Structure 1
């Protein structure tokens, strides 16, 4: 009897154990199956959401999720979301960015007033002519960057600061070719100067927001906002100067803004506002700034030497066009044709060859058969702007390694550079 009872207990325990194990394994199987199904659904959902982001952006995804968003700011570190209805916020993300830039930068912008003895009336009295412009503080010891055309004809200079104090300034260095100048003021020890932050113009994108601060028509530290409308523009100013590689913007620029900063969204200077295209004398949405990289390259020379002596090749260069390539049956379709070299000059002595076949090219006469410049110091040269940029860092007296294509054969020559003049740059703009 005891044996039968023990056997029954064992059978019951085994049944319970087997049943428990079966239930456990069934639960595991169901959970595993559900996990596979859930993972599949997640992947399918991820693909759908990815498509929404690609077609409608982050805004569309947030709208589907039911998150009310008033504004979105896209930054380098991700996204900043202004949730809720627009009325819940005093400032949008874009407005807060503008306010922050102005508060951080406006004390670094100065108001420049010039006096020039340039007019004589009917009684032979000399009448002082007054001009106005803008500038940016480069250092705490008083160096200021502005446009050359703002200060070049001035008999005296005055600089107004954020604190409404005005100081006499002296011209330190001028670069008429790039329309840049450095002036200097001396202030009391208790006056703090706020140097501006210089950025770079190399990575600008068309459509990128830009901010201009200056003194249009004498209104101190006025701020306007726009976008980069174009890049690498060759611009001829009203007084005949050529600005190469200019930044085009629609941020409103008017007389008095010249010499002021063009800023990115971080408040870094990416250009120096210089000129406008206008039929009325006021802004019509086509304004141009000198790239800050150009300014950075010349500021040390302007402060130390008072001028800049840039290098150039002593030859006549012609940009290739499809028509010219076809007519001359050239072996390359990109580069700069050497029409002529100065007899006995540096390019001639280095072995660069000019052309011998004279032809009419538009309103000019050029010579075919010469070398085609395709590179300078390892930089590819496809057009005249590339040649300008490749020679930009070099000074007269230095040597440049010039790569040419001569009837299908590549050759390299070290050429000593002459000093670049405004006439050389003017020839690049036709």
Structure 2
């Protein structure tokens, strides 16, 4: 991090290096009560402000939350490059936290911590929240610990690009106004269940959180081994647009187009990448590649559905049946999945 950036963070009073966050829900209280007051009182002991240091001083700030009695969850990008991490609990106590493991592909990290009395883990929602569900983002935006913003789930099963430029599937969208420093904090239902781990803001009134399902897969592995192995199909893909569908003689614009199959990848010799291109309405379109329309018999219409299935339903070493349209014919082939290469 250059010196000018450090001066900016110091001037902000927060030492924030992360640009991630989520947007904040704006619904009022339910009739007959103040549900967000009750929610905050019940969950605030489990939510922390994180301050991350390297050899030159404050590197970043963010948020986190207790997954169980001694494990904190936050974002990978919050603790990347950390030499020391400190967590501030709702009672004001600062304690040291140790990074147990982190995963840049899901933007999740697990930390070991000794919390104060009365701080207990928050449960993860066991399914994707419904669009319209009232939620709250609790954390430390701009270093302001103990902050809550409220709103709704605006969308689910979003495919987003992480702060470190990796694709994350199945993300939860919210209108909760999230700011730098909210990264890693919980997006909570009114029942106090974690509906997602805040990762970034997309635009005004649009923010994103990592799904509870992906969090539940990744965090236990980070605690146990320090890493998480993601399934790897080994293809370069494109969405099937109307123009691409026309160029390849498809009946409808659905599925996932295989643009290329790198040599030595799990799909090498099994799936077929594009070989040529044609121009449709003035736009060059690739042709000759397989179009994936199902995995293990489950329909695949979008790149997001493909990514979500691989992330949540498979593991490296699994053999999946891939149904494709090739040269106008439908066929099914088997691919044994590899492990996604470590980007570091």
2:228 matched to 1:308?
Answer: yes
Shift of 1:260: 0.8
Which secondary structure does the structure 2 equivalent of 1:277 belong to? Answer: strand
SS of the aligned residue for 1:195 comes to: coil
Distance 2:232 2:145 in 1: 40
Q: Specify the SS of the correspondent of 1:386.
A: helix
Partners of 2:271 and 2:108 lie apart in 1 by 33
Classify 1:128/1:251 alpha carbon distance in 2 versus 1 (closer, same or farther; 3 Å).
same
Name the structure 1 match of 2:18.
none
**1:331–1:408 Cα contact (<8 Å) kept:** no
When the two structures are superposed, what TM-score results if normalisation uses the length of structure 2?
A: 0.82
User: Which residue of the partner structure matches residue 48 of structure 1?
Assistant: none
Query: Per the alignment, in what secondary structure is the counterpart of residue 199 of structure 1?
Result: coil
2:317 corresponds to: 397
Q: 1:384 aligns with which of 286, 290, 303?
A: 303
1:298 aligns with one of 215, 218, 228: 218
Is the contact between residue 97 and residue 265 of structure 1 (CA under 8 Å) also seen in structure 2?
yes
Please state whether the residue corresponding to 2:68 is helix, strand or coil.
coil
Deviations along 1:360-393, one digit per CA (max 9) or x if unpaired, are 799x987422322111122211111111111113
| Conserved 8 A contact 2:45-2:118 | no
1:169 aligns with 2:90: no
Instruction: For 1:415 and 1:92, locate their aligned partners in 2 and report how far apart those are by CA, in whole Å.
Output: 50
Matching residue of 1:37: none
TM superposition shift of 1:193: 3.1
- What are the Cα deviations for residues 68-105 of structure 1, in whole angstroms up to 9, with x where unaligned? xxxxxxxxxxxxxxxxxxxxxxx863642222211221
1:106 to 41, 44, 47: 44
What is the alpha-carbon distance in structure 2 between the residues aligned to residue 294 and residue 274 of structure 1? 13
TM (norm. structure 1) is 0.66
Instruction: Name the residue aligned to 2:130.
Output: 204
- Equivalent-residue separation in structure 2 for 1:344 and 1:129 (angstroms): 42
2:201 aligns to what? 276
Judging by fraction of residues, say which structure has more helix: 1
Tell me the distance in 2 between the aligned counterparts of 1:240 and 1:402: 27
Structure 2 Cα separation of the partners of residues 253 and 233 of structure 1: 17
Q: Which has the larger radius of gyration?
A: 1
Number of residues paired by the alignment?
314
The residue aligned with 2:87 is: 159
Structure 1's 348 and 242: CA in aligned 2 closer, same or farther, altered over 3 A?
Answer: closer
Matched, 1:97 2:23: no
| Structure with greater strand percent | 2
Shift in Å at residue 252 of structure 1? 2.4
Contact 1:340 1:367 in 2 (8 A): no
| Equivalence map 1:10-159=2 (5 Å) | 93=31, 95-117=33-55, 127-140=56-69, 142-159=70-87
Is 1:375 the equivalent of 2:294?
yes
Is it true that 1:224 corresponds to 2:143 in the alignment? no
Q: Is the 8 A contact 2:101 2:226 kept in 1?
A: yes
Deviation at 1:163, TM superposition (A): 2.8
CA RMSD of aligned residues (A): 2.7
The structure, 1 or 2, with the larger RCO (C-alpha pairs under 8 Å, 6+ apart) is 2
- Give unpaired runs (5+ residues) of structure 2: 1-28
Q: How far does the alpha carbon of each residue in 1:4-49 deviate from its partner, in whole angstroms, 9 at most, with x for none?
A: xxxxxxxxxxxxxxxxxxxxxxxxxxxxxxxxxxxxxxxxxxxxxx
In 2, distance between residues paired with 1:166 and 1:406? 59
Per-residue Cα deviation, 1:325-374 (whole angstroms, up to 9, x for no partner)? 1222224542112233234543234x323333245799x98742232211
1:193 aligned residue:
119
